[in-house]
């Protein structure tokens, strides 16, 4: 578009200090994260470094026959010093805990799902898969 936009690609996790520094140097952040903990971290980085943050999400609802029944999309604009994805109830503390446990200790996460140990709100698809 001729706007002088510079795109840098980092093949690493958002928690990597080099990636955090790169995000901190941006003028605006667009997030299309697949995980609750990734969205939470990007929201926190944007808030800490006073960056405007656009969180974009898509949810596909299966019809049970190999097709898609519904496609839903949301866009949240997070202003520095304003509300967060957590305060807007885009996800809960329990979902954040479950996502973090799944990423850091997959065995423990799956054991809790299998034994129906209550994290109160595990990922819905994981509960259905374990049934």
- Chain segment 92-124, per-residue pLDDT in tens: 888 888 888 988 999 988 888 888 765 555 555
| Cβ atoms within 10 Å of 36's Cβ, excluding its own | 23
pLDDT at 19 over 90: yes
**Residues 84, 98: one domain?**
no
* 9-15 own/partner pairs: CB under 8 Å, 24+ apart: 14/38, 14/41, 14/42, 14/45, 15/41
Alpha helices, DSSP H only, in the chain? 17-24, 36-48, 93-104, 106-114, 124-130
Q: 0.85 exceeded by the pTM?
A: no
**Residues 16, 65: one domain?**
yes
Share of the chain above pLDDT 70, in %: 88
**Residues 82, 99: one domain?**
no
When mean pLDDT is compared across 3-7, 11-15, 88-92, the lowest value belongs to: 3-7
When mean pLDDT is compared across 2-6, 38-42, 125-129, the lowest value belongs to: 125-129
Residue 121, sorted as left (phi over 0), alpha (psi -120 to 50) or beta, turns out to be beta
**Residues 54, 104: one domain?**
no
CA distance 131 to 110: 12
Domain count, the chain: 2
Q: For residue 49, what are the domain limits?
A: 1-90
Sheet containing 68-78: which strands, arranged edge to edge?
29-31, 53-62, 68-78
**Residues 66, 117: one domain?**
no
**Residues 28, 51: one domain?**
yes
**Residues 18, 57: one domain?**
yes
**Residues 34, 5: one domain?**
yes
**Residues 81, 103: one domain?**
no
**How much is the pLDDT for 120?**
54
| 8 Å CB contact between 74 and 33 | no
**Residues 96, 111: one domain?**
yes
**Residues 50, 7: one domain?**
yes
Tokens representing residue 28 in the block: 């605006």
Q: What is the phi/psi pair of residue 72, to 5°?
A: -120, 145
Mean pLDDT of 29-34: 89
Domain stops at, among 74, 90, 106: 90
Tokens representing residue 95 in the block: 């979902």
């Amino acid at each position: 578009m001729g706007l002088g936009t510079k795109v840098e690609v980092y093949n690493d996790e958002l928690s990597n200090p080099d990636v955090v520094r790169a995000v901190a140097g941006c003028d605006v952040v667009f997030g299309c994260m697949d995980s609750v903990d990734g969205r939470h971290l990007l929201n926190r980085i944007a808030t800490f470094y006073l960056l405007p943050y656009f969180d974009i999400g898509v949810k596909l609802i299966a019809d049970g026959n190999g097709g898609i029944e519904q496609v839903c999309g949301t866009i949240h604009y997070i202003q520095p010093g304003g509300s967060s994805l957590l305060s807007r109830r885009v996800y809960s503390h329990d979902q954040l805990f479950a996502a973090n446990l799944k990423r850091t200790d997959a065995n423990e996460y799956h054991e809790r799902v299998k034994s129906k140990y209550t994290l109160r709100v595990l990922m819905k698809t994981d509960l259905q898969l374990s049934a």
